Amino acid sequence: MDHEPVTGLDAQLIVRRAGGFQLDVRLTVAAGEVVALLGPNGAGKSTALRALAGLLPLSDGHITLDGRILDRPGDGVLVPPERRPIGVVFQDYLLFPHLSAVDNVAFGPRHHGQRTAEARATAAAWLDRVGLAAYARSKPRQLSGGQAQRVALARALAVEPSLLLLDEPLAALDARTRLETRAQLHRHLGDHPGATLLVTHDPLDALVLADRLIIVEDGVVVQEGDAAAITARPRTDYVAQLVGLNLYRGHADGHSITVAGGFTLTAADTVRGDAFVAFPPSALALYPNQPDGSPRNTWPATITGVQQHGDYLRIQLSGPIEAAADITPAAAVRLQLSPGQPVWAAVKATETRAYPA
Ligand SMILES: Nc1ncnc2c1ncn2[C@@H]1O[C@H](COP(=O)(O)OP(=O)(O)OP(=O)(O)O)[C@@H](O)[C@H]1O
């Protein structure tokens, strides 16, 4: 096993859903660790979160938290949601609309046996920690999106859960609030002694908030590691897009990698056998005519799309390989940038990365 935490989460989530989807994900999160479960729509992230929270029973596998089994169909064990030491922040927060902020947060501690006054004091302390002491009496509808998010976080943490589950915790916020709330969330997660699992399809949330990323596609883990490792060596198209790279799989013979369709790319790295070759869109240069001479990869391509991205233009290309190129407005002046336009694409071998598949 890769990770075998003494305390924290240890799970093999196997869930078969009506309609044929199957989730089969091995998941460990040590106490104090923040792991992001990242994947495209329909990958199975919500299914995993619901299984952990106890809202969806496993078909097979197990969920063990701090050594205690919460779900193991093989043995007929299934602990109901309210008896799991888990705090959940749902995407739309699910605050009780008729309760004040302090009573929303007090709900968990009361449910866990604290008396009303004690639970209120616990809740007030948590609201203070998330910077909302002044809003204790406010109802959810009187709070901004960012404030509601912090109340939901305080509510989840107030029971001192062994596992904190965050479901797209910043998705409902506008861009600016998101930035601030992300930074605050980062700080609170750093203070949380339990395990944290963040479910998201936003790579920025995952990269900023998590110590480790687990990427799921079609119900299985396709890649796992810290941000640097994943960025350096993406293993699927989804991951490559996530980190902004052109990625191809092929067969390598030293510096040459022949990819699907028979096109050969030259890399500076030496690899043999099944291999990936990757390069950033900024490494791809475009020319109106075939560039001459230099020891680089060149091919004729056709523009299929043009998008403005801040200070540069992202050009989508078809041809012997599909690729994205980021070019400056100055470079764009020399080219006719309309879909259907033929161009020449070039990338230096030294700007590519090749590695075994
Ligand atoms: N209630 C359900 N019954 C049967 N299948 C479902 C149900 N809900 C979701 N699925 C299927 O399970 C698969 C995984 O969905 P899930 O919602 O877990 O993915 P996700 O990664 O959370 O996606 P998103 O980011 O869009 O929420 C999909 O194929 C989906 O169609």
Domains along the chain with CATH numbers: 8-237 (3.40.50.300), 244-349 (2.40.50.100)
Residue 43 beta carbon below 6 angstroms from any ligand 1 atom: yes
For ligand 1, atom 16, name the residue with the nearest CA. Answer: 44
Which of ligand 1's atoms lies nearest the C-alpha of 50? 18
200 within 8 A of 206, measured Cβ to Cβ: yes
Q: What are the two backbone dihedrals, phi and then psi, of residue 212, each rounded to the nearest 5 degrees?
A: -145, 145
Centroid of ligand 1 to alpha carbon of 46 (angstroms): 7
240 within 8 A of 281, measured Cβ to Cβ: no
User: What is the CA 53 to chain-centroid distance, rounded?
Assistant: 19
The helix (run of H) or strand (run of E) holding residue 26 is: strand 22-30
The helix (run of H) or strand (run of E) holding residue 175 is: helix 175-191
Residue 238 beta carbon below 6 angstroms from any ligand 1 atom: no
Residue 294: per-residue pLDDT:
63
Predicted TM-score (pTM) of the model is 0.81
Strand partners, 315: 306, 325
Which of ligand 1's atoms lies nearest the C-alpha of 201? 25
**Amino acid at residue number 276:** F
Residue 20 beta carbon below 6 angstroms from any ligand 1 atom: no
Residue ranges for the chain with pLDDT beneath 70: 1-6, 294-295
Name 83's Cβ contacts closer than 8 Å, sequence gap at least 6: none
For ligand 1, atom 5, name the residue with the nearest CA. Answer: 17
Number of other CB atoms surrounding residue 144 within 10 Å:
12
Phi-psi bin for 42: left (phi > 0), alpha (psi -120 to 50), beta? left
Residue 168 beta carbon below 6 angstroms from any ligand 1 atom: no
Which of ligand 1's atoms lies nearest the C-alpha of 219? 14
Name the residue of 23, 37, 46 to mutate for ligand 1: max ligand atoms within 8 A of Cβ. 46
315 within 8 A of 324, measured Cβ to Cβ: yes
For ligand 1, atom 6, name the residue with the nearest CA. Answer: 17
CA distances 189 to 52, 59, 103, 195, 349, Å, are: 19, 31, 23, 9, 41
